[in-house]
């Protein structure tokens, strides 16, 4: 950082000049995303200015969202959440989507077992009240970032032992040739409320994408009804559009 220049460069308060120098370094990438800022003490000494001046400049950049202070470990250049892009027209599983991007996935289980269906499940899955449905509720995590909360209900006939699903549901269904081949998916905007917001690590009211999927087997039978909510700041759907004939 060209801090030696501060004392001589132009007029105006020193902290403003320092702020501009740091801002320039961040925008140009000389201070990269996630990099630690040198300790304020060192900056002050090196630029021959007071620590109060350094603190003021850093405070400004924290307020602007360019830097973040982490208790006990220092000040860092903010790293924006990387967004996951998902093609709109492929019937893939969460695990496949993430693996293709080189992200490591895991889930925290919220629910996993056989239950009698709710009225909604009866309607969506076409099952009777005395039948069973397999419910899989998961917080889905990609590279340690909670990305979605997903609640899947399946006709129990196709997943008689929900505990057999340890990582990928679709991989498990593949084993018995009951992986869905077609699905209707609905995506709508939502605001995340607690407890979902807290589980996803965002503030209540943050933007979310609600996704409902109804999946069918090759025979035409419904097998799955899933409701999920994705973090709006981390997930994009991308569609290829072609000119209508
Ligand atoms: C996606 C779909 C869900 C489906 C899930 C299976 O997230 N929205 O409807 O149940 O993939 O994922 P996996 O095989 O990783 O458990």
Q: Which residues contact 245 (CB under 8 A, 6 or more apart)?
A: none
Q: Give me the interface pTM, i.e. the ipTM.
A: 0.97
For a substitution probing ligand 1, which of 91, 170, 230 has the most ligand atoms within 8 Å of its CB?
Answer: 170
Per-residue pLDDT tens digits for 1-59: 767 666 666 677 888 889 988 988 888 888 888 889 999 999 998 888 899 999 999 99
Q: How far is the CA of 121 from the centre of ligand 1 (A)?
A: 17
Going from the Cα of 152 to the center of ligand 1, the distance in angstroms, rounded, reads 8
The pLDDT, as a whole number, for residue 5 is: 64
pTM of the model: 0.69
Q: Is the CB of 159 under 6 A from ligand 1?
A: no
Decide if 73 contacts 30 (C-beta within 8 A): no
Q: Cα(81) to centroid of ligand 1, in Å?
A: 22
Distance 50 CA to ligand 1 centre (A): 55
Q: What is the pLDDT of residue 7?
A: 63
Q: Whose CA is nearest to atom 2 of ligand 1?
A: 93
**Residue 70: Cβ-neighbour burial (10 angstroms; 0-12, 13-18, 19+):** exposed
139 — alpha (psi -120 to 50), left (phi > 0) or beta? beta
Residues 6 or more apart in contact with residue 102 via CB below 8 angstroms: none
Tell me the pLDDT tens digit for each residue of 162-203: 999 999 999 999 999 999 999 999 999 999 999 999 999 988
- For residue 98, the ligand 1 atom closest to its alpha carbon is 15
* C-alpha to C-alpha distance for 213 and 195, rounded to whole angstroms: 22
For 77, half-sphere exposure in the C-beta direction (CA atoms, 13 angstrom radius) is 17
């Amino acid at each position: 950082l060209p801090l030696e220049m501060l004392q001589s460069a132009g007029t105006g308060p020193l902290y403003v000049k320092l702020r501009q120098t740091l801002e320039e370094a961040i925008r140009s990438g000389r201070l990269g995303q996630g990099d630690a800022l040198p300790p304020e003490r060192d900056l002050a000494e090196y630029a021959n200015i007071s620590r109060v001046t350094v603190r003021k400049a850093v405070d400004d950049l924290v307020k602007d969202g360019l830097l973040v202070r982490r208790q006990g470990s220092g000040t860092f250049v903010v790293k924006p959440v990387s967004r996951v892009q998902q093609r709109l027209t492929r019937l893939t599983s969460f695990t496949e989507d993430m693996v293709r991007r080189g992200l490591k996935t895991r889930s925290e289980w919220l629910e996993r077992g056989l239950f009698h269906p709710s009225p909604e499940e009866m309607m969506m899955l076409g099952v009777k009240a005395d039948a069973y449905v397999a419910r899989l509720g998961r917080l889905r995590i990609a590279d340690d970032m909670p990305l979605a909360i997903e609640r899947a209900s399946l006709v129990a006939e196709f997943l008689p032992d929900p505990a057999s699903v340890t990582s990928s549901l679709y991989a498990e269904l593949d084993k018995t040739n009951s992986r869905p081949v077609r699905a209707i998916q609905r995506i709508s905007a939502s605001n995340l409320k607690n407890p979902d917001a807290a589980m996803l690590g965002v503030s209540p009211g943050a933007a979310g994408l609600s996704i409902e999927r109804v999946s069918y087997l090759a025979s035409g039978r419904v097998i799955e009804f899933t409701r999920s909510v994705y973090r709006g700041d981390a997930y994009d759907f991308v569609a290829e559009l072609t000119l209508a004939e």
